[in-house]
Amino acid sequence: MADIIIMASSATEKQINNVIKKVQGLGFDVNLSKGAEKTIIGIIGDTRGISDEIFKILPGVAQVISILKDYKLASREFHPQDTIIKVGGIEIGGNNFTIIAGPCSVENRKQLFKTAECIKKAGGSILRGGAFKPRTSPYSFLGLGFEGLKLLKEVKEFSGMPIITEVLSPEDIDGISEVADILQIGARNMFNYRLLQKVGRTKKPVFLKRAFSSTITEFLNCAEYILKEGNKDVILCERGIRSFDSTFTRNVLDLSAVPVLKKESHLPVFVDPSHGTGRRDLIIPMGKAAIAAGADGLMVEVHPKPEEALSDGFQSLTLEMFNRFMDEIKPVVKVMNKKLC
């Protein structure tokens, strides 16, 4: 099996092209990583039937490696450089640090516009807001649906901020894609493989949240489902997992997942301290800790009147707290050599 071909540092351009042609001639696409020292050619596709010998004999080839993990496209071995995702003039990943903020649910025009105005002014880059809400109880507020999407379209024009919103079902993807700049797959749907495949066939970046009970291997395999369909723009989000003690926090925010994911994968890694803790007073400390752990961005819930919110008010920052949050995270972003954008 051959997945990665490492060219010798002395390999010529002609030798590199020759190897690429050989790979393409076998019906595979390549992922080319040109570093200062060496060029790495990744083979995209199911390479189980391909012997490494056919590449080893080519001039300029130093080493042929097989990836034994299930997730190949998501792995850092296959794609050593950080993936950088462009969304409406913003770059996510690499040395950039991105704040996604907004209400848990889109409730009405006033609530949405007021929140967006505050977020933009304080330096947030992407606006979140759920129109289709996956709630634990079917009697809870399930979102405004396409009405909410209309409001998101209006607030996008008003604020100029890109929009992220959750997709619950494959049949909504086309309609939601007309407004959303990023498609969110929530924790409850991380294992919905048909949904993952369908967003993998769109050209929209996908924000994949870790399921409550998911191992890191399962999480990366779900990202692989999206990548395998051709969509290269996947963002991973740690949002807390279930453990034995939920006395003080809604979930256990697994911050060790951040450096593990950064090491295992080239995809940008975000943390959501709102759902991760379920408490607004823990968003600032855990947000700072997530930045220090190496996250590429944070997702936080914000509401002008959290006590009146139709969902997740207890874990939403007030507008005043969001300003404080931005002031407090800035020095930590700087220490981590990242640029807030």
Residue type present at position 249: T
Q: Which stretch binds ligand PEP (CB under 6 A): 72-80, 186-194, 216-224, 258-266?
A: 186-194
Q: Within positions 55 to 114, which residues make up the interface with ligand PEP, using CB under 6 A? A: 104
Q: What are the DSSP calls for 246-313, one per residue?
A: -SS-SSB--TTHHHHHHHHBSS-EEE-HHHHHS-GGGHHHHHHHHHHTT-SEEEEEB-SSGGG-SS-G
Q: Which stretch binds Mn ion (CB under 5 A): 41-49, 193-201, 286-294, 309-317?
A: 309-317
Nearest to ligand PEP of 198, 209 (CB atom): 209
209 near ligand PEP, judged by CB under 6 A: yes
Collapsed DSSP state (helix, strand, coil) of residue 72: coil
CB 60 within 8 A of CB 70: no
312 near Mn ion, judged by CB under 5 A: yes
Instruction: Tell me the Cα Rg of the chain.
Output: 21
Nearest-CA neighbor of 21 among 35, 6, 48, 41? 41
Say which entry of ligand PEP, Mn ion, none residue 303 contacts (CB below 5 to 8 A, set by partner kind): none
Q: Which stretch binds Mn ion (CB under 5 A): 16-24, 103-111, 214-222, 292-300?
A: 103-111
Say which entry of Mn ion, ligand PEP, none residue 238 contacts (CB below 5 to 8 A, set by partner kind): none
CA pseudo-torsion sign 146, 147, 153, 159: negative
Nearest to ligand PEP of 159, 251 (CB atom): 251
From 104, 142, 155, 226, residue interacting with Mn ion (rule: CB under 5 A): 104
CB 91 within 8 A of CB 84: yes
278 near ligand PEP, judged by CB under 6 A: no
Nearest to ligand PEP of 3, 172 (CB atom): 172
For the bound state, the minimum distance from the C-beta of residue 305 to ligand PEP, rounded and expressed in Å, comes to 18
Q: Which residues does 205 contact at the CB level (< 8 Å), separation at least 6?
A: 85, 87, 92, 181, 182, 183, 231, 233, 234, 235
Residue number of the CB closest to ligand PEP reads 186
For the bound state, the minimum distance from the C-beta of residue 257 to ligand PEP, rounded and expressed in Å, comes to 13
Nearest to Mn ion of 232, 279 (CB atom): 279
Q: Which residues does 17 contact at the CB level (< 8 Å), separation at least 6?
A: none
Q: Within positions 231 to 250, which residues make up the interface with ligand PEP, using CB under 6 A? A: 239
Nearest to Mn ion of 172, 312 (CB atom): 312
Q: Within positions 114 to 133, which residues make up the interface with ligand PEP, using CB under 6 A? A: 130
For the bound state, the minimum distance from the C-beta of residue 129 to ligand PEP, rounded and expressed in Å, comes to 9
Nearest-CA neighbor of 94 among 103, 108, 83? 83
42 near ligand PEP, judged by CB under 6 A: no
CB 41 within 8 A of CB 23: yes
143 near ligand PEP, judged by CB under 6 A: no
142 near ligand PEP, judged by CB under 6 A: no
**How many residues belong to the site for ligand PEP (CB under 6 A)?**
11
d(CA 274, CA 314): 9
d(CA 161, CA 33): 32
- Residue in the block written with tokens 């051959």: 2
- Residue in the block written with tokens 């809400």: 133
Chain residues in the site for ligand PEP (CB under 6 A): 104, 130, 134, 166, 186-188, 209, 239, 272, 275
Chain residues that interact with Mn ion, rule: CB under 5 A:
104, 312
